[in-house]
Structure 1
Amino acid sequence: MKRVYPRAHEALLAVSRHDFVAGSDLVSSITGHSIPRQETVSHILDLLPEIEPDQVVMHVGGGSGYLAAVLSELAHRVIYVDKNPAVAEAARKRFFYLGMHNVDVLAVAVEDGFELDQPCDTILCTTFLGERNVVAPHLREGGHLVCLEGKAGPVPSLAMFVKHGSKLERVRTLGWVDFNRNSEQILIDLGIVDEKVLADAKAEAAGKNCPVLEVLRHNLNLEEIGLYRSLAQQRGMGFTDAETLLPELHTKLFRRFSRTFLDLSRVIPVAEDDSKIIVVTDDPDARTDQLERLSPNHTIECRLVTPTDFRRLWSALDLTVKGSRFVADHSGGAEEKPLINGQNSELLGSEPGHKHVSPYLVSVYEAILLDAVSEKASDIHIEQYGDRVRIRLRVDGDLHDLPQYQLSPREIKGVINVIKLRAELNIAEHRLPQGGRSRLQLGDTAYDLRIQTQPSLHGEHAVIRLLPQTGRAMTISELGMSGLIGARYQRLLDNPAGLVLVVGPTGSGKSTTLYAGLQTLADDGRRKVITVEDPIEFSIDNVQQTRVRSDIGFGFAYAMRAFVREDPDVILVGEIRDQETALEAIRASQTGHVVLSTLHCNDAVDSLQRLYDLGIHPNSIAGELLAVIAQRLAKRICEHCRKPAKPDRVTLAELFPDGPPANFRSFEGEGCDKCNGRGTRGRVAIVEYMEVDSDIRNVISSQPPIGELRWRALDAGLVTMRDSALDHVIEGVIPLSELPRILPRERMAPEVRGGRRSHS
């Protein structure tokens, strides 16, 4: 192989590849062909016939323009051709900006034909041509066509043709050209990282013994699916997900290969036909050549998945293999093996008296946890109905099944035992509900698992709540409240003293709203914040958090009495459950502290009745209460597939008995891969907000009936949940269909205020 001739070397040095890295508007068009590496351009120049200073060269598939720019340093004139008008226009602007005035840009597909004012000495095609003769008219007699040959494989070859008469005659294959860029080069080209950030990530990854991509994703807070989808596109790989693959995994294919080999190669075989094996990987730079040698009669098609989905697929296949062995090992004899603490010994271990479980059952439990984390589930429900076992996840408030776990009643008993042992519960107790907690560490994120077991007719059920412990909660600005209410909530925290209540049923996001206030205070850093909680749901840096210990008499009221002597500015009480805690909260606010807490009740006005019922004097409530925030959680429309929707007539009739406003609009999610086809992604709080002013204080002190309390609050400016929900509907945050789910029927229509209907 000849060395790159001196003029070509000078041309490479004269053109900065960095100048041709496409902007974010052209990310979808950047490939290794459109912006080849400098090493690739050097190799192409090495293969090409030497270009003379008086020659005309055409580059078909010009892409970003980098290769054409290098050619412009060698030739008298370069004709750049690309069929994508946006890409061609971006390249033209670069040529003009860099003063490369000997490059002519044509935004056209060569197959469509075009006219040139002079023939070319050399035509270079770095894209695949359907018919190479379409470029023959643009070559001079004896001119060279150098083009990619064969199919678009991982490393295509360049072939050279010479024009004789009207025909192109093949001369020879020049050599292979590797247009691939590794994932690090792609991230630089996409503008996601620069050389310094990449170097720092490499050093950190080496220290942690983990992939560089994992470090970058964590440090830059990159969305996993978007990052890997983009890398797949750049690498020319298909992108897929676990949900698509899980129903049709081929266990026998997985068993055919060494587990160690697959783990080291970072590939999982998932499907096979007569001529092809489909594998998935979470490494964009993974190589499949060894797998090809092991399967000489098959071609290998590699698709990219996220690391999370890779773990899920591996767990699912691994569990199926282990499960088959488990069934084979435990289905031989008709006699039941002796029980340990009421459980079959083979589910707990080989030696009676030892609390060890089958590795298979541990793997089942860990795979369920991994699925829950992947789906961003808040809860896991493990249930048994006769011989039918059901495992469900609660995602965005709704339960849905995990059908890939086809477990027997015997296996689920073993899984329940694993859960109990991890949570340090009594595995011999099946008659009473039990509660405990354990921890899960996945990468840099720790999860606090709150576990409840419940006896039932057919066996024990388990519910596991997953609470991520990131050291940080959402701030008020990230909650999704309206700007007005968010600002008022922020102002409440700046008060010198007073009581703020967040109310609603279980699972309505009360703790999330309170924690947002705490995070905002922690970020500010000027005030000391102490909490007493049962349990501590989220760990927040710079906030002093304490857990209730009822077993030693350390409850909410006891903690409140102790806390006021520790010079706090803000005190959070997890929940006001009884009169003693309510009285201590009032006293703490009277002694110059802002007190935050929750109550279980339906709306803001109901909270007043609840405090009356707890025996708190109306004047104390009126004097100390600053505001009440009542809330429900509604599903948020997926922003990636949101579209205008036709409002449901029945819901509209309930909302607007006198007819909807002329400009009323609503939206819905069409369903896409970002939201797993659901049309919704995440949830947002729908808030009722009652700020206690002088008018409300007078009403509270007189303790009127609850109905009068409600309409007096409305007249004083109560922001109802209906108002908040409609604002979110009109702004396209939530679908109209959520309103009947979060609003009682009597609150759907505008409420009557003091005998007259309120505005809508």
Structure 2
Amino acid sequence: MKKLYSRAVAALSVISRHNFVTSADLAPSITGHSIPREETVRHLLGLMPEIEQDQTVMHVGGGSGYLSAVLAQLAHRVIYVDRNPALARKASERFTGQGLHNIDVVEAVADSRLKADTPCDLIICTTFIDTPACLLDNLRPGGTLVCLEGRAGPVPSLAMFQRKNDGLERIRTLGWIDFNRNSEQILIDLGMVDESTLAQARHEASSGNERVLDILRRKLNLEETELYRSLARQRGMEFVVGDDVLAQLNTGLFRHFSRTFLDLSRMIPVAREDSMLTVITDDPDARTDQLERLTQDYGIVCKLVTPTDFRRVWSALDLTAKGSRFAEEQGGEASGQIRGDKASRDLLGQENDKHVSPYLVSVYEAILLDAVSERASDIHIEQYEDRVRVRLRVDGDLQDLPQYQLSPREIRGVINVIKLRAELNIAEHRLPQGGRSRLQLSGTSYDLRIQTQPSLHGENVIIRLLPQTGRAMTIEELGMSPAIGAHYQRLLDNPAGLVLVVGPTGSGKSTTLYAGLQTLADDGRRKVITVEDPIEYSIDNIQQTRVRADIGFSFADAMRAFVREDPDVILVGEIRDQETALEAIRASQTGHVVLSTLHCNDAVDSLQRLYDLGIHPNSIAGELLAVIAQRLAKRICHHCREPATASPDILAEVFPDGVPADFRCFEGKGCSKCGGRGTQGRVAIVEYMEVDADVRNAISSQPPIGELRWRALDAGLITMRDSALDHVIEGVIPLSELPRILPRERMAPELRGGRRSNG
């Protein structure tokens, strides 16, 4: 490439690329051709003939307008052409805002119907056109056309044509030009990252042997699927999800390539059809040229997946290979053909395999990968008489993983792997056992809580997955109504008192408490100590302590020690017995805010639970600040949410006196983002009882629980029905969730002192 002429250097210094890149108007159609890098524009100008000051130049494929703006510094007039009306409109606004009045914007397709009002000296096409001759009439005699060739290749070439007589004559190939932006440049263009953050991530990547993109995703807390979908769109690649790849996986292709080569190139061949080989990668910047040289008889189609899905596919292929070897080693027993009394003894755990096969380790890791990919909260591995069932709990519902058709012998081996990693006794099959292990995946650490349970046909295993990010949700992120969120925030600011979060197992109590802790940690003005069993989430700037029953360190012991350590806020994981309840009351009496959980059904039931634990009513009345009771409801997928027709049966229960005229509800119709379920994630439905003077007096007198509830209603109890209906009307949850989270007697407006409350 010849040295760039001085006027072009000056033009590049005058026009800032940053002014033509804003995340707010990056349409899906924008690629590197639309927002070329400064180096690409510099290279392009160096390849072309020098542009004279009196020339008229047409730029076809103007995109964001950056290259057209640079050309406007060199030529007398520039005609910007783009087929995308949104891009053309935005480009025109940018040109006007920067005082570039020698650019005319034309919204048109580059074909024979495109007619400039004056012949051009030079036409530059930075997008592919099928027939360059379609632009002939826009060139003056002797004019030059520069356009891209080699659409199928990773890097196109730049060709120069000249108008001679009534045709175009190809003069020569000017050189190769790469319009691709790497993933780092794309993130800058999308406004997700700045240069300083990028530089810091590069340093961490080089010192920690990680990829820059993985570090950025972790630092910026970016959602993996949406990030990679955006990168695929910007790179002009097809994005696919792991389930679609696994459904059509050609396992035989994997054996035809070096595993080391595939690992280093971050590619996996997954399908072959006619003369095309489809590969997947989790590297948006992956180059296929080396693979093309290895497979000269095939064209390469490269699709992008998330790192988690890449590992899932690799694990599935690895599992197939190891499974074949395992079946051969086990002489047919691995495929479920277990014979005789020895097999029965094995099933009951009387004999144990001494050798743990790598295949069994791979099975377990594949199940964990599937769980993480599906954002499951729990894994259930269950044994029945003649089959094994693996299920995931996703958004509160259990769903099968049918791809794991394991024999009883195999599942015993997998359970042994789980036990070994959780440091449990693999020889013990008669008693339940509990333990913990860890999983590291894509920069995220997961705490795995393992519970084994003997059953008629063998041991079952339940694994809870708890991501350890160093941060929990904040109160704002919980999805509470603004009013209840403000109440919760105010409770944390109190000088002393007891705050309870109640509900059944799996209702999100810990998540709500941790949200309060995260708010306190971010504030940093108060000392917070916790005692938990187990520590579910690790939070920076919070002192967290674990109960150790094996050495006699209980919740009550921790509470007695904590009050001497100058804390402002104490979290007790759970009040399970009278001793812990008494210590929690005493800690609140000595000037501490105490947060804890109870297992009960609603806010008022928590009072009866404290009575049952032997706590004096006056102590409860004096120290209790508020009770938050909650359930989890499925959240409507915001990608496919639409208005819904309400079920008449549910409406009759919720509004016995008639449905309000302005009532509305929504549902998710199902899409690729939510796996066709119509829901994605869950949200807490909260009942909030603040203890004011009237409720305090009622607690002290210890009336029947029914009377306590209507007194709380009169004092402003926000019921779970109220919260649920607010979420239904706002389109957060479907109406069909109400019967699942509310008992029948709570579906209708409740009585307040004998009168029906407003619904």
TM-score category of the 2 structures, normalised to the smaller one: over 0.9
Q: Distance in 1 between matches of 2:580 and 2:42?
A: 76
User: Aligned residue for 1:603?
Assistant: 602
Question: Helix, strand or coil for the counterpart of 1:74?
Answer: coil
Distance 1:143 1:595, change over 3 A: closer
Task: State the Cα RMSD in Å.
Answer: 2.4
Question: Helix, strand or coil for the counterpart of 1:455?
Answer: strand
Mapping of 1:229-378 within 5 angstroms? 229-331=229-331, 342=349, 347-349=353-355, 357-378=356-377
Letter in 1 for 2:390: I
- Aligned-pair CA distance for 1:280: 0.7
Letter in 2 for 1:680: T
User: Aligned residue for 1:427?
Assistant: 426
Q: Distance in 1 between matches of 2:638 and 2:614?
A: 47
- Aligned-pair CA distance for 1:381: 0.5
Q: Distance in 2 between matches of 1:614 and 1:9?
A: 81
Q: Distance in 2 between matches of 1:339 and 1:646?
A: 54
Deviation per residue, 1:100-119 (Å, 9 max, x gap): 33222111223372443321
Question: Helix, strand or coil for the counterpart of 2:28?
Answer: helix
Q: Distance in 1 between matches of 2:474 and 2:174?
A: 60
Distance 1:367 1:665, change over 3 A: same
Q: Distance in 1 between matches of 2:5 and 2:139?
A: 24
Mapping of 1:389-400 within 5 angstroms? 389-400=388-399
Q: Is the 2:347–2:457 contact (alpha carbons within 8 Å) kept by the matching residues of 1?
A: no
Question: Helix, strand or coil for the counterpart of 2:458?
Answer: coil
Distance 1:18 1:754, change over 3 A: closer
Question: Helix, strand or coil for the counterpart of 1:460?
Answer: strand
Question: Helix, strand or coil for the counterpart of 1:111?
Answer: coil
Q: Distance in 1 between matches of 2:568 and 2:148?
A: 72
Q: Distance in 1 between matches of 2:332 and 2:374?
A: 38
Q: Is the 1:22–1:30 contact (alpha carbons within 8 Å) kept by the matching residues of 2?
A: no
Pair 1:73-2:35 in alignment: no
Question: Helix, strand or coil for the counterpart of 1:110?
Answer: coil
User: Aligned residue for 2:581?
Assistant: 582
Distance 1:96 1:671, change over 3 A: same
Q: Is the 1:246–1:404 contact (alpha carbons within 8 Å) kept by the matching residues of 2?
A: no
Deviation per residue, 1:4-63 (Å, 9 max, x gap): 455545544454333333443124243121222333334433443443333222111111
Q: Is the 1:341–1:428 contact (alpha carbons within 8 Å) kept by the matching residues of 2?
A: no
Letter in 1 for 2:158: L
Letter in 2 for 1:710: R
User: Aligned residue for 1:664?
Assistant: 663
Deviation per residue, 1:154-188 (Å, 9 max, x gap): 22233333334443344444443322222222223
- % identical aligned pairs: 76
- Aligned-pair CA distance for 1:662: 0.9
Distance 1:444 1:238, change over 3 A: closer
Letter in 2 for 1:539: S
Letter in 1 for 2:62: G
Q: Is the 2:347–2:409 contact (alpha carbons within 8 Å) kept by the matching residues of 1?
A: no
Mapping of 1:689-700 within 5 angstroms? 689-700=688-699
Q: Distance in 2 between matches of 1:610 and 1:754?
A: 23
- Aligned-pair CA distance for 1:3: 4.6
User: Aligned residue for 2:147?
Assistant: 147
User: Aligned residue for 1:630?
Assistant: 629
Q: Distance in 1 between matches of 2:44 and 2:500?
A: 70
Question: Helix, strand or coil for the counterpart of 2:168?
Answer: strand
User: Aligned residue for 2:64?
Assistant: 64
Deviation per residue, 1:660-700 (Å, 9 max, x gap): 11111112223333333322222111111111122112222
Q: Is the 1:157–1:175 contact (alpha carbons within 8 Å) kept by the matching residues of 2?
A: yes
Distance 1:67 1:489, change over 3 A: closer
Q: Distance in 2 between matches of 1:23 and 1:584?
A: 54
- Aligned-pair CA distance for 1:555: 2.1
Q: Is the 2:112–2:135 contact (alpha carbons within 8 Å) kept by the matching residues of 1?
A: no
Distance 1:470 1:118, change over 3 A: closer
User: Aligned residue for 1:354?
Assistant: none
Letter in 1 for 2:477: E
Q: Distance in 1 between matches of 2:694 and 2:594?
A: 22
User: Aligned residue for 1:573?
Assistant: 572
User: Aligned residue for 2:228?
Assistant: 228
User: Aligned residue for 1:471?
Assistant: 470
Q: Distance in 2 between matches of 1:10 and 1:381?
A: 66
User: Aligned residue for 1:732?
Assistant: 731
User: Aligned residue for 2:26?
Assistant: 26
Distance 1:703 1:237, change over 3 A: same
246-255 or 742-751, which deviates more: 246-255
Pair 1:412-2:411 in alignment: yes
Letter in 2 for 1:575: E
216-225 or 250-259, which deviates more: 216-225
- Aligned-pair CA distance for 1:617: 2.5
- Aligned-pair CA distance for 1:495: 2.6
Q: Is the 2:347–2:408 contact (alpha carbons within 8 Å) kept by the matching residues of 1?
A: no
Letter in 1 for 2:68: A
Distance 1:620 1:308, change over 3 A: same
Q: Distance in 2 between matches of 1:157 and 1:669?
A: 47
User: Aligned residue for 1:352?
Assistant: none
Deviation per residue, 1:381-434 (Å, 9 max, x gap): 111222322111111111112223222221110010011111121111112211
- Aligned-pair CA distance for 1:211: 0.8
Q: Distance in 1 between matches of 2:531 and 2:9?
A: 70
93-102 or 723-732, which deviates more: 93-102
Mapping of 1:449-464 within 5 angstroms? 449-464=448-463
Distance 1:15 1:594, change over 3 A: closer
Structure 1: any 5+ residue segments left out of the alignment? 350-356
614-623 or 480-489, which deviates more: 614-623
Letter in 2 for 1:227: L
User: Aligned residue for 1:640?
Assistant: 639
- Aligned-pair CA distance for 1:731: 1.6
Letter in 1 for 2:435: G
- Aligned-pair CA distance for 1:525: 3.1
Q: Is the 2:668–2:677 contact (alpha carbons within 8 Å) kept by the matching residues of 1?
A: yes
User: Aligned residue for 1:680?
Assistant: 679
Letter in 1 for 2:149: E
- Aligned-pair CA distance for 1:84: 1.3
Q: Distance in 2 between matches of 1:188 and 1:526?
A: 35
208-217 or 188-197, which deviates more: 188-197
Q: Is the 1:247–1:404 contact (alpha carbons within 8 Å) kept by the matching residues of 2?
A: no
User: Aligned residue for 1:95?
Assistant: 95
Question: Helix, strand or coil for the counterpart of 1:620?
Answer: helix
Q: Distance in 1 between matches of 2:193 and 2:486?
A: 35
User: Aligned residue for 1:168?
Assistant: 168
Letter in 2 for 1:495: N
- Aligned-pair CA distance for 1:612: 2.1
Question: Helix, strand or coil for the counterpart of 1:461?
Answer: strand
User: Aligned residue for 1:213?
Assistant: 213
Question: Helix, strand or coil for the counterpart of 1:473?
Answer: coil
Q: Distance in 2 between matches of 1:189 and 1:141?
A: 39
Q: Distance in 2 between matches of 1:376 and 1:645?
A: 27
Letter in 2 for 1:460: E
Structure 2: any 5+ residue segments left out of the alignment? 334-338
- Aligned-pair CA distance for 1:341: 12
User: Aligned residue for 2:111?
Assistant: 111
Pair 1:652-2:648 in alignment: no
90-99 or 377-386, which deviates more: 90-99
Question: Helix, strand or coil for the counterpart of 2:706?
Answer: helix
Deviation per residue, 1:574-595 (Å, 9 max, x gap): 2222223223323333333322
208-217 or 58-67, which deviates more: 58-67
How many residues end up aligned between the 2 structures? 752
Distance 1:458 1:50, change over 3 A: same
Q: Distance in 1 between matches of 2:302 and 2:443?
A: 28
Distance 1:17 1:690, change over 3 A: closer
Q: Is the 2:348–2:457 contact (alpha carbons within 8 Å) kept by the matching residues of 1?
A: no
Distance 1:77 1:560, change over 3 A: closer
User: Aligned residue for 1:353?
Assistant: none
Distance 1:429 1:693, change over 3 A: same
Q: Is the 1:669–1:679 contact (alpha carbons within 8 Å) kept by the matching residues of 2?
A: yes
Q: Distance in 2 between matches of 1:51 and 1:593?
A: 76
User: Aligned residue for 2:336?
Assistant: none
- Aligned-pair CA distance for 1:379: 0.8
